[in-house]
Amino acid sequence: MRYALLFSWLCFNLCAQAAKQPDIVFFLIDDLGYADCGFNGGKEIKTPNIDRLAQGGTIIENHYVQPVCSPTRSTLLTGRYPTHTGVYTIVSPGAPWGLPLAERTLADALRSAGYRTALTGKWHLGEFEKAYQPNARGFDHQYGHFFGMLDYFTHERMNKRDWYRNGEPLKEEGYTTHLIAKEACKVIAAGDQAKPLFLYVPFNGVHSPFQVPDSYLKPYAHLKGNRQKLAGMLAAVDEAIGQIEAALKQAGRLENTLIVFSSDNGGPPPGDNTPLRDFKGSIFEGGVRAAAFATWPGRIPAGQRIRQPMHMVDWYPTLIKQAGGSLEQKLPVDGLDVWPMLTKQAASPHDAILSVSTQGPSRAAVRMGDWKLIVDGGAADGAPPGKKKGKKTAGKYEPVALYDLSADPGEAKNLADAQPERVKAMRARLAELLRDAAPSGVR
């Protein structure tokens, strides 16, 4: 009887430990190139903290995002494609719209699951009314800026300061990357330590303007112009991530922290997207495939690289499930749970992944397996493209283009003419995904 009771006690405690809600830290890097970090092939810029975290977990080689920042942020926070939120493009300062108020956010879901929630960095999903700002969208704590293109030293955008704590204007000196990290470390150390933490850290680095303290430029004297400045900016972000990791360790939280790292879109020049085609703003791979990884000691295998594709929408159900939260809600979720893919190398749960341009559904792409179809010029919904077959539009897109990404990650060879049946099937699937597409800026 004594041994039976001891066994039951041990099982209870082991189960309780396994069920303990993890802290979740999500690093979103602004305009990072696919191959700028060492873990994804970069050689020019030293990113030791980022690379160590990446090697301690699973590197996701085919992690899809949106071609610009606001849409990617909306997909992360709602688990829904832009076709269902209406956030296809960048939310401008003062614009009378933002992430629709009917949307439940990841922060809402995690707070309902008992988490304290904090954002330190860039929001970029609407601010013209308090109801659109982070503190009304599930975040207990907000610090940083509402928009992009921020001066890293003055914290001004178009001669107007864009720096806030909990929605209140804040006058503060310092380099923004340093300040964001410092605030994140404070959040980790403060608050109700018994509660699990969701910490969302969307850095404004390495987005232009290209600005960094001179000390970060010295190791990159061999680089020129904005590439040198970007290198220094990324080194500062890497240092900041190391500081946040150290704060988690000091607080005794690191071993039970799930860390996710991603860019918000492909890098613009002078970012390096090798071997992918094109840059930010494009639905070619260089615009919508992000450098990404996830790590959680003992739960996500270390030293693993996976090729199975996923999309930013997938983090919403995956993180909520790992947090023990509820996915019951009024609006349907596009994302799927990718935990078996990350931890057991299971197949992607998607039969198709959607990419939509900043113009909306008139230019869109679908990936199915290793194949990607891009349809441009009103042809995405099955309507005639209205252009001569094979003629490029907007300088680089063709009405219909098919690529085998396993053999051609640079999307150099259009196989549409050689694979008419595949094109037909993929166009039909794309039309399904776009059938109920929302207009831009739905409120």
User: Are 295 and 397 members of one domain?
Assistant: no
Rounded alpha-carbon distances, angstroms, from residue 385 to 178, 187, 392, 405, 443 = 49, 52, 11, 24, 30
Structural domain of residue 245, as residue ranges? 22-344
Annotate 158-186 with DSSP letters as a single string. TTEE--EETTEE----S-HHHHHHHHHHH
Q: Return the number of other C-beta atoms located less than 10 Å from residue 330's C-beta.
A: 7
- Rounded to the nearest 10 degrees, the angle between the axes of helix 315-322 and helix 69-78 is 40
Q: Is residue 354 part of a domain?
A: no
User: Are 340 and 371 members of one domain?
Assistant: no
The least confident of 104-118, 137-151, 316-330, 381-395 is 381-395
d(CA 272, CA 290): 11
Q: What is the pLDDT of residue 191?
A: 80
Q: Is residue 11 part of a domain?
A: no
User: Are 276 and 376 members of one domain?
Assistant: no
User: Active site residue: 37, 63, 84, 124, which one?
Assistant: 124
Rounded alpha-carbon distances, angstroms, from residue 420 to 241, 389, 403, 423, 430 = 47, 13, 12, 5, 15
Structure tokens at 150: 């921020």
* Residue that has been written with the tokens 């994804």 in this structure: 40
User: Active site residue: 69, 141, 145, 207, which one?
Assistant: 69
User: Are 138 and 264 members of one domain?
Assistant: yes
Pairing of strands 141-145, 116-122: parallel
pTM of the shown model = 0.93
350 is catalytic: no
Q: Is residue 46 part of a domain?
A: yes
Q: Which of 291, 311, 344 is the last residue of a domain?
A: 344
311 is catalytic: no
CATH number at residue 196: 3.40.720.10
Q: Is residue 351 part of a domain?
A: no
Chain segment 77-128, per-residue pLDDT in tens? 999 999 999 999 999 999 999 999 999 999 999 999 999 999 999 999 999 9
User: Are 276 and 393 members of one domain?
Assistant: no
Confidence band (pLDDT; 50, 70, 90) for 379?
very low
